[in-house]
Amino acid sequence: MKAILIYGPPASGKLTIAKEICKATTFKLFHNHAVIDLCFSVLDSKSPRSWSIIQKIRLDIVREAVKQNVPGIVMTMAYTGERDYIRRLIRVVENNQGRVYLVRLTCDPAILRKRVKNISRQSHGKLHSQEGLEEWLVRHRGGGIISGRKNLVLDTSRPTSKQSAKKVLEYIETKK
The two beta strands, 72-77 and 28-30, are parallel
CA distances from 85 to 25, 43, 98 (A): 26, 20, 17
Decide if pLDDT at 140 tops 90: no
CA dist., res. 10 & res. 45, Å (int): 17
Q: How far is CA 11 from CA 113, 119, 120, 157, in A?
A: 8, 12, 11, 10
Cα–Cα distance, 70 to 62 (Å, whole number): 9
Kindly state the average pLDDT of the residues 3-13.
93
Per-domain residue ranges of the chain? 2-174
**Is the predicted pLDDT of residue 10 greater than 90, yes or no?**
no
DSSP letter assigned to residue 102: E
Residue 76 has pLDDT above 80, yes or no: yes
What pLDDT score was predicted for residue 119?
Answer: 58
Per this entry, what is the length of the chain?
Answer: 176
Which residues neighbour 1 within 8 Å (Cβ) at sequence distance 6 or greater? 65, 66, 69, 70, 71, 72, 73, 93, 96, 98, 99
Question: 116-128: per-residue pLDDT in tens?
Answer: 776 565 665 666 6
**Residue 124: φ, ψ to 5°:** -95, 5
Tell me the CA distances in angstroms from 165 to 27, 36, 47, 72, 119, one per residue in order: 13, 24, 34, 15, 22
Structure confidence at residue 126 (pLDDT): 64
The CATH code for residues 2-174 is 3.40.50.300
Q: Would you say residue 102 has pLDDT above 90?
A: yes
Strand partners, 76: 6
Residue 156 has pLDDT above 80, yes or no: yes
Q: Which ranges constitute the DSSP H helices of 26-147?
A: 32-40, 48-67, 83-94, 109-115, 119-123, 130-139
The chain-wide mean pLDDT, for the chain, equals 90
Report the range of poorest mean pLDDT among 35-39, 62-66, 85-89.
35-39
Q: pLDDT tens digit string along 17-30?
A: 999 999 999 999 99
- Predicted confidence at residue 172, as pLDDT, reads 95
Q: How confident is the model at residue 62 (pLDDT cuts 50, 70, 90)?
A: very high
Query: Is pLDDT at 68 greater than 90 in this prediction?
Result: yes
Q: What's the confidence (pLDDT) of residue 150?
A: 94
pLDDT at 32 over 80: yes
- The answer to whether residue 85 scores a pLDDT higher than 60 is yes
